[in-house]
Amino acid sequence: MFTSLQLGAVNHTPFLFFTGKGGVGKTSTASATAIALADEGNRVLIVSTDPASNLQDVLETELTNQPKQVPGIPTLSACNLDPEEAAASYREKVIGPYRGKLPESVVSNMEEQLSGACSVEIAAFDEFTSLLADPAIVDEFDHIVFDTAPTGHTLRLLQLPTAWMGFLEESTHGASCLGPLSGLGDKKDLYSSTVNVLSDKEKTTLVLVARPDSSALMEADRASTELKDIGIKNQILIVNGLMGKHQWDDSIASAFYSRQQEALRSMPVALKEIQTYSLPYVAYTLTGTISLRQLLSHVEVNPNAVTVYDDESIEIPGLKKVIDDFSKNNTRVIFTMGKGGVGKTTIASAIAVGLVERGHKVHLTTTDPAAHLTHIFQEERGKDDLRISRIDPKETVESYKKSVLSKAAEGLDEEGMAYLEEDLNSPCTEEIAIFQSFAEIVGKADEEIVVIDTAPTGHTLLLLDATESYTKEVPRSKGEVEDYVKNLLPRLRNSNETSVVIVTLPEATPVLEAKRLQEDLHRAEIHPKWWVINQSLSVTNTTDPVLRGRAVSEREWIQKVYNDYANKTALIPWMSEEKIGYKKLMDFSK
């Protein structure tokens, strides 16, 4: 259907940006491309800008924010632009020169201005633009491959040059939560240079990566359109994990193949106009340079060489056990968390439906900008005891601005109002506004169980981080803190009331990212109760060689989760049909 990906498709420009929905294989595809370019003698740098980067896992080497040579490949270097680390560095770079020169109260105020979650994104972008505009680095390499963040974050990141340029031009007070403008103003030329590089088809290729499934293709289409609108038009699409030859008499393999083909037939029209290549669905795990080289070599693996140990039985309960646990213990707030693409939305929906079927009133909501709940339920909402909502970022921000301005109008003079309006124009406002809606919903958990389908991992962490800074931010803007905000974090930390479900796939990258997510939650004194391993081939009866090979490779990661990482574990088999609608979601409870 599509041409197999060859280097000739991507070696025309010095900068290659890989983007797509979380879990589609951006990092492995970007890494395989970088290795192939290096193997041809090119000097290559691969850079991750993902807040939840797994580049070090795929390349099997520790990385920092400084380029280092990848072991065994002399012409390939890699680095990881850690936004948290960059944020700390950025804060110090802005505030450091004032320490000891200005009163401590002024320095503290500056620190508060830079304590918002979006400072992390600003800092990451600051490093990203510095790298792109640094001749010493750019001239050292023939190609720089960017393994970008999940789609939502990528869009923000790539749109930032325009957004920040606009902000700098309009801002005159120098007092927003972005921090003193002196920390940003001297970067204006740098941002302008970045915009030019991204929009220049001779310099940049945008590589959209998608799995052959409908939600990943829709996300790729959205990203393609929005990036074209800001001038990034030199795009190609890679359909990753396309199943080719398979065992026709195997019902799982046939369903797997058919579902992929159906998704490709309904691919958005605009996406069909982009030059498209494919990479095969393979039996092996895509970590380490040997496997990554094999991916682009297009050499078929002998399926008979895959060893299958059928005597390794796995006895882990299904999602029914999770739902029974929450129902019995009357858990009031339930989060599903995990890397994008692991099925958080489906699991959250199945838990919500299962609890309704056990007699509970449930409010299912999402902070995910992609709003996949609409796709899951479509027109079939089920019983009245299930309420479904979505926190819409745009609407929430507008409502928040109006609320803040109306409450502040009586107590501020004209200059004060101008100051506040300026403050509300910063991107930090979105984080704060969404967080307020989130806190308000959780505050109503006395009347109903709240199930929250959170956004992809990086965004989730930023959102949770905002909980810490919010209590500082709100008094400055509104002069008061609502009770539901004050009570939120203690409530999230109360294991008798709140449970976190970490959702993962039985693969190296999702499991390792989920482990890091759990560690971050532990630092916030939030301890996940359940891990749900989703879409496991190992508990199906497939005999297809490729799928059996993947099933075998899953077992290492299932055992790690069960033995080392999870408090309690549930395992869900790969299902032949997508569970759409209330009745189908009930199948998870059986």
Residues identified as active-site: 23, 25-28, 50, 509
Q: What type of residue is 511?
A: V
CB 18 within 8 A of CB 26: yes
Q: The tokens of 167 are what?
A: 């902000």
In 22-117, alpha helices (H): 26-39, 55-59, 83-95, 104-113
Compute the distance between CA of residue 483 and CA of residue 479 in angstroms, rounded to an integer: 13
Can you point out the beta strands (E) in 211-290?
Answer: 235-242, 276-280
Compute the distance between CA of residue 216 and CA of residue 526 in angstroms, rounded to an integer: 30
CB 382 within 8 A of CB 362: no
CB 220 within 8 A of CB 21: yes
Geometric angle at alpha carbon 298, from 292 and 301, rounded to 5°: 80
Nearest to 452 by CA among 440, 465, 466, 467: 440
Q: The tokens of 520 are what?
A: 């971050």
Residues in the chain: 590
CB 215 within 8 A of CB 21: yes
Compute the distance between CA of residue 153 and CA of residue 122 in angstroms, rounded to an integer: 12
- Partnered with residue 500 across adjacent β-strands are 335
In 369-487, alpha helices (H): 373-377, 393-408, 414-424, 428-443, 457-478, 483-486
Sheet strand arrangement including 568-573: 386-390, 362-366, 449-453, 333-337, 498-504, 530-536, 568-573
Find the helix or strand (DSSP H, E) in which 325 lies: helix 319-329
SS (H, E, C) 6-24: CHHHCCCCCEEEEECCCCC
Find the helix or strand (DSSP H, E) in which 530 lies: strand 530-536
511-526 in b/e form (b: 16+ CB < 10 A) is bbbbbbbbebbeeeeb
Q: Cα-flanking dihedrals φ and ψ of residue 384, to 5°?
A: -65, -25
Alpha-carbon Rg for the chain in angstroms: 24
HSE toward the beta carbon, residue 23, CA cutoff 13 A: 26
